[in-house]
Amino acid sequence: MSAVILISGGAGYIGSHAAYGLKQAGYEPVILDNLSTGNEWAARHGILERGDVGDGALVRGLCEKYQPAAAMHFAAFIEVGESVQNPDKYFDNNRDKAMRFFRTLNECGVNKVVFSSTAAVYGDSGGNAPIEELNPTHPINPYGQSKLEAEAFLRMLDAASMRSVVLRYFNVAGAGPADSLLGEAHFPETHLIPRLILPLIDAPLMLLQGLGLQKGFTIYGNDYPTPDGTAIRDYIHVMDLVDAHIRALDYLLKGGATDIFNLGSNKGFSVQEIVDAVRTSLNKSYYKPGIAPRREGDPAFLVASNAKAGKVLGWSPARPLGAIIGDAVTWHRSPRYIEAMRAKIGKTSGIWL
């Protein structure tokens, strides 16, 4: 019988791909999601149980019903700007509900957790070297702080027999294989790669208007101290990220100790490199995005190291930038994505029903 893995937030972007990857690896995913930001269609690769991670009675019932061998926790709000405007929302969900989820799991004997965290816990590294796990943690927004405090609670539970792996990373992009029927469907869409791609692939006007992309993509700052003047960020293909989560799960199931791993490219990609890759993928060599001044607070370089993950988990990102862009383009052109966004934008604004 396949081992059951309970996946919180498994109807979201990364969680749904994790369910797909776990199914392919021989596990039985059970998805817990309240569908506040997730998509019911994205839970196609697991058993969907609709509900909130902060509902202790519900989580206890799921543990009794399915007897999971471990849990993966993805359920979180992720918008940095929103976290600054509404910090209580982020601390309630990302910290307090996560803590109740972890506590209930531990009480039920589910004592192995892979926690999808964020490299935002480090704040602005202020340098040009990849961030390592021993770097100081100084979050500069409530999103990063809420995740850091949830991490601390997991380490406290380690003394009560719960073992965990915390995975910290920056930007995730791309989409699953064709048979997964999965990809990114965020609203609002704040991620660079979809915002760059969508205006260039003849997406429906109502979609572009709903996402605020009718005027196209803008590069903020081309005078950074980097090789091409644009900011350098970390990007990982979503299926490489899934591979890391499954390796972390296997590590725990084989007796691995509580630990933290950064998941990064080790070198990152500049905004201009992303633009160039999109131009190549779409055969639009003429395309040049607009340039605007730097945004206040944006550092020149934010990249995570993968050295420790490579040494302990045997993980490194396998898919190059071209594959990330190509898979994203295929997904954002798909009827599945268009229909998902039609439902979200129409429900919210009424402009595309």
Name the residues annotated as catalytic: 143
Identify which of 197, 85, 204, 91 has the alpha carbon closest to the alpha carbon of residue 150.
91
- Taking the C-alpha atoms of residue 21 and residue 317, their distance in angstroms, rounded to an integer, is 15
The Cα 48–Cα 43 span in angstroms is 6
- Whole-angstrom distance, CA of residue 315 vs CA of residue 318: 9
Contact 244, 167 (CB under 8 A): yes
Please list the residues that pair with 237 across neighbouring strands: 173
Q: Which residue has the tokens 């500069």?
A: 140
How many angstroms separate the CA atoms of 115 and 132, rounded?
18
Q: Indicate if the alpha-carbon torsion angle 56, 58, 64, 69 is positive or negative.
A: negative
| 208 secondary structure, DSSP code | H
For residue 261, the cross-strand partners are: 167
Nearest to 274 by CA among 315, 207, 220, 317: 220
